[in-house]
């Protein structure tokens, strides 16, 4: 259960392919692609859509115990994959300019991705079935204590990760609305 890191390898491969695409556009234009240009907008929109999918789809599946649209463990792998690839695309969208609201949003994105890696590590410390349900059968005293500690850490992690994610999406929506207003409607 998540111990083989398949989603991390796939995310790495996707980031490599995106980097090749970015390098090609960089080479063709002989300059860093502007965030407001076609490539910059495209990669930013796609990255943001992946980030939205990361949050919404996995959260819906996790909270729906009766859902028949895939195992929770598979959706967690999707969450991890899109939670790495989407922010990477948004980073490239920034044109390496970290200032203003967009810079603050990018900083929160980095914090949430780092937090996600920590959460993934804690999550793998809790034994689970193939469906992602905790498996506490036949635990010894030391294992039960370690499991209790992992559960407490996971609860603490949730109290940090989720509010930062909410602040991130709020800032991202404000950034998008501001970009639409200033770059599109005022032209």
Q: How far is Cα 161 from Cα 139, in angstroms, rounded to an integer?
A: 29
Residues 131-171 have pLDDT tens digits of 556 666 656 676 777 777 888 888 898 899 889 989 988 98
Strand partners, 128: 134
pTM attached to this predicted model? 0.79
Place of tokens 């209790």: 148
Identify the band that residue 1 occupies on the pLDDT scale cut at 50, 70 and 90: very low
Residues 28-77 have pLDDT tens digits of 989 998 888 889 889 999 999 999 888 888 777 777 777 677 777 788 88
Q: How far is Cα 44 from Cα 165, in angstroms, rounded to an integer?
A: 18
């Amino acid at each position: 259960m998540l111990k083989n890191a398949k989603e991390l390898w796939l995310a790495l491969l996707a980031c490599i392919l995106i980097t090749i695409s970015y390098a090609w556009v960089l080479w063709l234009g002989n300059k860093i692609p502007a965030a407001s240009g076609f490539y910059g907008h495209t990669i930013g929109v796609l990255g943001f859509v992946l980030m939205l999918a990361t949050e919404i789809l996995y959260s819906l599946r996790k909270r729906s115990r009766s859902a028949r649209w895939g195992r929770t463990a598979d959706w967690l792998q999707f969450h991890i994959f899109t939670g790495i690839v989407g922010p990477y695309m948004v980073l490239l969208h920034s044109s390496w300019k970290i200032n203003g609201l967009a810079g603050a949003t990018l900083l929160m994105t980095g914090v949430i991705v780092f937090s996600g890696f920590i959460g993934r590590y804690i999550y793998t410390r809790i034994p689970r079935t193939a469906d992602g349900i905790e498996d506490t059968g036949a635990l010894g005293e030391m294992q039960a204590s370690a499991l209790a500690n992992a559960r407490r850490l996971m609860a603490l992690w949730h109290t940090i990760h989720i509010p930062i994610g909410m602040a991130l999406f709020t800032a991202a929506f404000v950034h998008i609305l501001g970009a639409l207003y200033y770059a599109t409607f005022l032209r």
